[in-house]
């Protein structure tokens, strides 16, 4: 059992644990300080209590997830880390992979809650800026041959300048491995192909599955709400686990819930605060492209998304100038 004050020795040095920050099914995060002095960090370790209860195949998968995360972060060059959390140190603890990551000011989920509690909801321009940050991070993930598959507010960290950095790469899967795979990710933010399995009970995803999650995040940042499609998937998973997809299809006569209902599109435009027809068209065009039901209907790569973001920004700027005039 880990306790505050424990020393964890990794490859580059020793780290003193201060207090636990969070835990998941297989990982635990600790606020830590270099034993020799220096800047604080976040130590990510295997959750040994959960590991002890898990079956051998699950233990192997958790270990492989951490090893893949470390391998990805180690491969990044300094100029690739603008919107990806930095790896400071790595090694082993109790025979399991362990890593030290840069400490940032908190995650996007908490940041949004705090801002909205003070009546300071992000502007549409801010939402577009954050979407661009995440798109840049995903571009690097995809460039290095991975898909993230767990894009959500709690995996986006906010730095002191208000920029976003993508974290938690334990669900990364190789892009070159195009075979259907086991369930991965979080139901609240998943593309249809990531939540609804094929006839073999497995899931066929690619880089464009990450783009759907980017669209779900954009909607959430702008409106403060979650898409009903995502809420329905989350509820079905919570109540029925992996059988939730079949339950949800049965409720919709073999189909699935609408992804972006007309009233949700209207709410998005209302919160975006765009008055001009051009701005509203570009804003909705970006969202609909990301949230297309089928992967082949979504943007092919980050450059296409960047162009859509810039068009939305430009139309938004023109609308603002006209309003001021």
Domain locations in the chain as residue ranges? 7-102, 108-324
Per-residue pLDDT band for 58 (boundaries 50, 70, 90) equals confident
pLDDT score recorded for residue 49: 81
pTM (2 d.p.): 0.93
From 210, 231, 188, select the one nearest 299 (Cα to Cα): 210
DSSP-assigned letter for residue 170: T
Assess contact for 90 and 70: CB atoms under 8 A: yes
CA distances from 27 to 66, 79, 98, 194 (A): 9, 28, 10, 22
Who contacts 63 (Cβ-Cβ below 8 Å, separation ≥6)? 46, 96, 97
- Can you tell me whether residue 98 is helix, strand or coil? strand
CATH superfamily of 7-102: Phosphorylase Kinase; domain 1 (3.30.200.20)
Q: Give the model confidence (pLDDT) of 63-111 as tens digits.
A: 888 898 999 999 999 888 899 999 999 999 989 999 999 999 899 999 9
Would the pLDDT of 317 be above 80?
Answer: no
Mean pLDDT along residues 142-167: 95
| Nearest residue to 213 via CA among 192, 197, 232 | 192
* Residue 209 · residue 290 · CB < 8 Å: no
Q: What is the mean pLDDT of residues 208-232?
A: 98
Determine if residue 45 is left, alpha or beta; phi over 0 gives left, psi from -120 to 50 gives alpha, anything else beta. Answer: beta
Angle of helix 207-223 relative to helix 124-143, nearest 10 degrees, comes to 160
Highest mean pLDDT among 61-70, 163-172, 175-184, 288-297: 288-297
Average pLDDT over residues 127-154: 96
C-alpha 129/C-alpha 299 separation (Å) is: 18
Question: For residues 101, 71, 210 and 104, what is the CA-based torsion angle, rounded to 10 degrees?
Answer: 10
Query: Which pLDDT band holds residue 27 (cuts at 50, 70, 90)?
Result: confident
pLDDT at position 191 is 98
Q: What tokens appear for 146 in the block?
A: 């991975």
Residue 159, pLDDT above cutoff 60 = yes
Distance (Å, rounded) from C-alpha 229 to C-alpha 261?
9
Task: Assign domain 108-324 one CATH number from 1.10.510.10, 2.10.77.10, 2.60.120.10, 3.30.70.980.
Answer: 1.10.510.10
How many residues are given for the chain?
325
pLDDT tens digits for range 29-39: 999 999 998 99
CA distance 176 to 233: 27
Q: How far apart are CA 163 and CA 134, in angstroms?
A: 10
pLDDT-based confidence at residue 322 (cuts at 50, 70, 90):
very low
Among 27-31, 287-291, 306-310, 320-324, name the one with the lowest average pLDDT.
320-324
Give the residue-averaged pLDDT of 297-320: 89
Q: What is the DSSP string of 29-97?
A: EEEEEETTS---EEEEEE-HHHHHHS-HHHHHHHHHHHHHHHHHHHH--GGG-TTBPPEEEEEEETTEE
pLDDT of residue 292: 98
Q: Grade residue 320 by pLDDT with cuts at 50, 70 and 90.
A: low
- pLDDT of amino acid 296: 97
């Amino acid at each position: 059992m880990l306790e505050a004050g424990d020393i964890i020795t990794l490859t580059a040095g020793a780290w003193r644990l201060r207090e636990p920050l969070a835990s998941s099914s297989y990982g635990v995060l600790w606020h830590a300080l270099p034993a020799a002095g220096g800047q604080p960090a976040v130590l990510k370790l295997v959750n040994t209590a959960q590991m002890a209860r898990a079956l051998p195949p699950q233990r192997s998968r958790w270990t492989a997830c951490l090893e893949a995360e470390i391998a990805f972060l180690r491969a990044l060059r300094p100029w690739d880390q603008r919107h990806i959390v930095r790896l400071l140190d790595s090694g082993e603890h109790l025979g399991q992979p362990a890593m030290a990551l840069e400490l940032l000011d908190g995650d996007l989920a908490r940041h949004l809650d705090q801002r909205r509690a003070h009546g300071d909801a992000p502007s549409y321009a801010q939402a577009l800026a954050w979407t661009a940050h995440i798109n840049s991070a995903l571009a690097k993930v995809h460039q290095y041959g991975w898909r993230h598959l767990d894009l959500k507010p709690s995996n986006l960290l906010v730095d002191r300048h208000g920029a976003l950095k993508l974290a938690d790469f334990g669900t990364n899967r190789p892009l070159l491995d195009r075979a259907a795979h086991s369930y991965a990710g979080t139901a609240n933010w998943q593309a249809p192909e990531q939540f609804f399995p094929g006839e073999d009970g497995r899931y066929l995803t690619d880089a464009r599955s990450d783009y759907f999650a980017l669209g779900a995040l954009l909607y959430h940042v702008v409106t403060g709400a979650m898409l009903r499609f995502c809420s329905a998937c989350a509820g079905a998973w919570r109540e029925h686990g992996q059988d939730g997809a079949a339950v949800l299809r049965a409720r919709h006569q073999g189909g699935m819930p609408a992804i972006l209902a007309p009233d949700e599109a209207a709410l998005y435009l209302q919160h975006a605060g765009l008055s001009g027809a051009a701005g509203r068209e570009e804003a909705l065009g970006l969202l609909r492209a990301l949230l297309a039901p089928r992967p082949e209907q979504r943007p092919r790569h980050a450059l296409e998304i960047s162009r859509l973001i810039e068009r939305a920004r430009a139309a938004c700027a023109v609308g603002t100038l006209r309003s001021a005039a």
